Structure 1
Amino acid sequence: MIRAAILAVVAAIAGQSAHAACADQDGACSTEMGEYHIELPKAENPPLVVFLHGYGGSGTGTMKNRGMVKPLLSRGYAVMAPEGLERANRPGVKSWNFYPGFGDRDETAFLTEVVQDAADKFGIDAERVILGGFSAGGFMVNYLACDAPERFSAYVPVSGGFWRPHPEACEGPIRMFHTHGWTDNVVPLEGRLLGGGRFHQGDIFAGLEIWRIANGCVDTKPSGFSTTGPFMRRYWSGCADGSALEFALFPGGHTVPKGWADMMVDWYEGLPGG
């Protein structure tokens, strides 16, 4: 019994480390600017989902979210989880440099670097790369899309938008699928104050207005509505050629919801060139 228990613990540890590896290599993949973890599907030259962890999380932790990772792999997508940088004033706490004072790394350059590294090493299709992220990772997705909309094929933030003051304008057009929980009280739909009022998370619907303008949409009114399981979805058409904007709301809190991966891939593959 004791031996069996020990073997079970060893197997669990081995399984966890496999979820944080550099494809079939031990440990994380390293580049000049940082590290990332990646898992590959059986298909050759696969598209890639890059998913950014939340505040205090890690790429290792992202890869342990098998409810998200396994559906993506089964659909033929490689999955990458880059590592954020440790905050200077919070040793051991990792996040992303999307706001002044949050770090020194050029995150757009870092994410461009790791995608190119994966293309060179593992043959991923660098023309079909989706950038997603949760919470602080979702904020990073929005800010990168705002500044460099052409850098990734599509943007799929979960539970993260902009901080106040909102950007006056964003470059565009983009293809974005934003997902958020109705009862999220960490990143509420209306935003919230942080740091004794020094920081203010933005309003998610105000962010969608910024994206409608960037996409050149002719009306603020959604063009249509649909449901996918618990997800209530709305989208805007009549926008710039090649753009896409959709919002999915689910009856939950601050989490990457079950079913998100397949829903997001269905959306992406339904886009022209997806």
Structure 2
Amino acid sequence: MMQGLRKAAAAAALAAVCGSAAMAECGAEAGACSIEEGQYQIVLPDPAGAEGAVPVVMFLHGYGGSSSSVLRNRTLVAGLTQRGYAVIAPEGLRRDGSGPQSWGFGPFTGGRDEGAFFAAVLADAAEQFGTSRSQTVLAGFSAGAFMVHYLACRDPAAFAAYAPVSGAFWRPQPERCNGPVRLLQVHGWRDEVVPLEGRILGGGRFEQGDVFAALEVWREANACTSHAPDRAWSADGLMRRRWDCGPGADIELVLFDGGHTLPKSWAELMAEWFEDQPAVR
């Protein structure tokens, strides 16, 4: 009885956060959807304006976060659902079975095949809620962003585009990645948790990589002919660089004057970037 009340209260709280968007139900009740590989939560846009399959932004929480913490970000969820996107928030696994929830990437792989999990989530959501299997963006913050980079490197065709925030590779970073890839890298200029240049952790056992070094790997994967961006500009307090290296092979770097956080303008920024690409199906 108490467990049911708690679930109902959690669903009501998320519904309040999501505003006009619909907190989708899995089975007979609202809340986490369970598949063999794990769990996820999903918020759908107002169906009144929907035509065809609903495009998806799968957003990965940071270290110690959860799918619920993603959906509590009202600016993020409302910013995407109001533009017609479904927001899918998968649940990470506890590090080493009992630690904070995170993802299996780079030096922290082990256990679940995260790429297979994300693919299963997309398939389940498409079957249950009519979401798109092709108009998909994998995004994430911090540890979620690290995961985005590693999956894009291994399987760029898994999603139509990738949008990491405040995270790249760890050292030693991949020598090469598969491509082409469409990637939007957003990072705070004053980030001290995941600095642009990276940092050493765990008494020297681990090292966050350099974001600019990661972008060089991506330019090589996209067969870009120059390290120089095709366009460089500043607008609305953002410093932006863009490399257009062929069909489905574009990279954009956006730096904002802030720390380790998701900027409030991110949803609109990401959606405009994604929708501006001719490769969107």
TM-score of the superposition, structure 1-length normalised? 0.91
CA distance in 2, matches of 1:27, 1:223: 44
Per-residue CA distance 1:146-169 (angstroms, 9 max, x = gap): 000111000000001000001010
Instruction: Specify the alignment match of 2:43 in structure 1.
Output: 39
CA distance in 2, matches of 1:254, 1:59: 19
For residue 257 of structure 1, the aligned residue among 247, 260, 263 is: 263
More divergent stretch after superposition (204-213 vs 223-232): 223-232
* Code of the aligned partner of 1:23: A
Seq. identity, %: 54
CA distance in 1, matches of 2:125, 2:11: 23
CA distance in 2, matches of 1:100, 1:206: 18
Instruction: Specify the alignment match of 1:23 in structure 2.
Output: 24
CA distance in 2, matches of 1:190, 1:273: 31
Unaligned runs of 5+ in 2: 1-7
Specify whether residues 188 and 85 from structure 1 end up closer, same or farther in structure 2 by C-alpha distance, changes over 3 A only: same
Instruction: Specify the alignment match of 2:93 in structure 1.
Output: 85
Instruction: Specify the alignment match of 1:273 in structure 2.
Output: 279
Specify whether residues 40 and 165 from structure 1 end up closer, same or farther in structure 2 by C-alpha distance, changes over 3 A only: same
* Code of the aligned partner of 2:94: E
Specify whether residues 200 and 92 from structure 1 end up closer, same or farther in structure 2 by C-alpha distance, changes over 3 A only: closer
| Runs of 4+ in structure 1 over 6 Å off | none
| Counterpart contact for 2:23–2:44, Cα < 8 Å | no
CA distance in 2, matches of 1:70, 1:26: 18
Shift of 1:15: 3.7
* Code of the aligned partner of 2:269: M
For residue 124 of structure 1, the aligned residue among 124, 127, 131 is: 131
Q: Tell me if 1:217 matches 2:224.
A: yes
Instruction: Specify the alignment match of 1:203 in structure 2.
Output: 210
| Counterpart contact for 2:41–2:88, Cα < 8 Å | yes
Q: Tell me if 1:142 matches 2:143.
A: no
TM-score of the superposition, structure 2-length normalised? 0.89
SS of aligned partner of 2:110: coil
CA distance in 2, matches of 1:14, 1:157: 28
> For 1:232-251, what aligned pairs fall within 5 Å after superposition?
232-237=239-244, 239-251=245-257
CA distance in 1, matches of 2:190, 2:274: 26
Instruction: Specify the alignment match of 1:99 in structure 2.
Output: 106
Specify whether residues 75 and 101 from structure 1 end up closer, same or farther in structure 2 by C-alpha distance, changes over 3 A only: closer
Specify whether residues 14 and 108 from structure 1 end up closer, same or farther in structure 2 by C-alpha distance, changes over 3 A only: closer
| Counterpart contact for 2:24–2:31, Cα < 8 Å | no
Shift of 1:103: 3.1
The total of aligned residue pairs comes to 262
| Counterpart contact for 1:225–1:233, Cα < 8 Å | yes
CA distance in 1, matches of 2:250, 2:187: 17
Instruction: Specify the alignment match of 1:8 in structure 2.
Output: none
Q: Tell me if 1:55 matches 2:52.
A: no
Instruction: Specify the alignment match of 2:200 in structure 1.
Output: 193
Shift of 1:13: 5.5
Shift of 1:242: 2.1
CA distance in 1, matches of 2:248, 2:43: 29
SS of aligned partner of 2:134: coil
Shift of 1:14: 5.3
For residue 65 of structure 1, the aligned residue among 56, 68, 73 is: 73
SS of aligned partner of 1:47: strand
Unaligned runs of 5+ in 1: 1-10
